[in-house]
Amino acid sequence: MTREQQLAWAAWVTICLVWGTTYLAIRVALETVPVFLLAGLRWLAAGAVLACIAAATGRRLPGPRMWGSLALLGFLMNVVGNGFVVWAEQYVASGLTAVVVASVPFWSVGVEAWLSDGERIRPAALAGLLLGFLGIVVLVWPEVSVGGREGRVVFFGVAGLQVACLGWAIGTSYAKRHPVSADALSASTIQMLFSGIMLLGLATAAGEWPHLHVTPRTLAAITYLVLAGSALAYTAYLYALAHLPVSTVSLYAYVNPLIAVALGALLLGEPLSTRIVLASALVLVGIAVVRGVQSPRVPPAPTRLARP
C-alpha cells in the first residue's frame, strides 16, 4: 500500500468518526444557541476557514458568474438540508436523527425518477425503499403514537428531517447536472459562505440574536462543528475521493449512524433498545439495496458537500 493510499484510508476513518459525532455536537450546541444562529455561524465560519485554506494553497475562488449556482446549492444542501436537521434535533434524539438522515438515497431515487432524464425506479430498488421505510416507521412509531404534545413534537421533528433529506437530494441532482468548473474546495468555500449568510438572515428575521447565549460547553460544540465537522472532515473527504473508489468512500454513510446512536446513548442518555438497533439495521439494509441497484446515469459533480 502506497503512502497516498494509507493517508486516504486515514482520511476515510476521519470522515466516519467526525461526521458520526456531529449529530451529538449539534444537540449539545442547541442547549443555548438558537437553531438558525447555530447553523449560520457554523457554515459562515467554516467557509472562512476554507477560504484561508484556499488562499494558503494557491486556489482561486469562483467568480461572480458561478455564484448563482453555488448559492442555490448552498440553499438546498445547507439551508434546507442542514438547517432542518438542526431544527429537528430539538425534538428528535441525535442518534435517531442520524439514522433518518441516512435515508437520503431513498429521496434521491424518487427525485431522479421524477426528472425526465433521471433513472426509473427498479423493482429491487423499490423493495429497498419499502424496507427502509419500514425501518423508519419501526424506529419512530412508539414515540409518535403516544399522542399528545410529545407525540406531535416527535412527528414534526421526523417530518422536518424528511424535508432536510429532500432538500439534500434535490441539491445533489442539481449538482450532477450543473457542475461548476472550479476546484471542489474553492467552490464549496463560496457555497458555505452563502449558506451562512442566508441562515444568519433567517436568524435575524426570526429574532434569534437576543436569545444567543454561549457557554463553554456550547462554544466547544460549535468550534468542533466548524473545525472538525466542516473544515477537517470535508478536506479529508476530498482527499479520500481522490485516492479511493467512490463506492468505498460512500461506506461512511453506514458507519455514521452507528457512531451517532452509540454516542447519544453513552453521553446524552438517549434510548438504545433492541427495537432501535433492529430498526436502524432495516434502514441501513434498505439503503444498501437501493445503492446497489440504482446507478446514476450522470456522474456526480465535484462541488457536492458530503454531509449535513
Name every residue whose Cβ is closer than 8 Å to that of residue 50 and which is 6 or more positions away in sequence.
185, 188, 189, 192, 230, 231, 234
> 90 by DSSP, 3-state: which?
coil
Q: What would the 3-class secondary structure string for 135-200 be?
A: HHHHHHHHHHCCCHHHHHHHHHHHHHHHHHHHHHHHHHHHHHHCCCCCCHHHHHHHHHHHHHHHHH
* Eight-class DSSP state of 214: -
CA distances from 214 to 29, 209, 211, 222, 224 (A): 9, 11, 10, 10, 14
- Give Cα 247 to chain centroid, integer Å: 18
> What pLDDT does residue 175 have?
82
C-alpha cell at 111: 427525485
Cα gap 94→19, rounded to integer Å: 12
- What are the domain boundaries of the chain? 3-293
Residue 197: which of 97, 67, 303, 88 has the closest Cα?
67
pTM of structure: 0.87
CB 13 within 8 A of CB 20: no
A 10 A CB-CB count for 65 gives 9
pLDDT tens track, the chain, 308 positions: 788 889 999 999 999 999 999 999 999 999 999 999 999 999 999 999 999 999 999 999 999 999 999 999 999 989 999 999 999 999 999 999 999 888 888 888 888 888 877 778 788 888 888 888 888 888 888 777 766 777 888 889 999 999 999 998 898 888 878 777 678 888 889 999 999 999 999 999 999 999 999 999 999 999 999 999 988 988 888 888 888 887 678 788 888 898 999 999 999 898 888 888 898 898 888 888 887 776 554 444 444 444 55
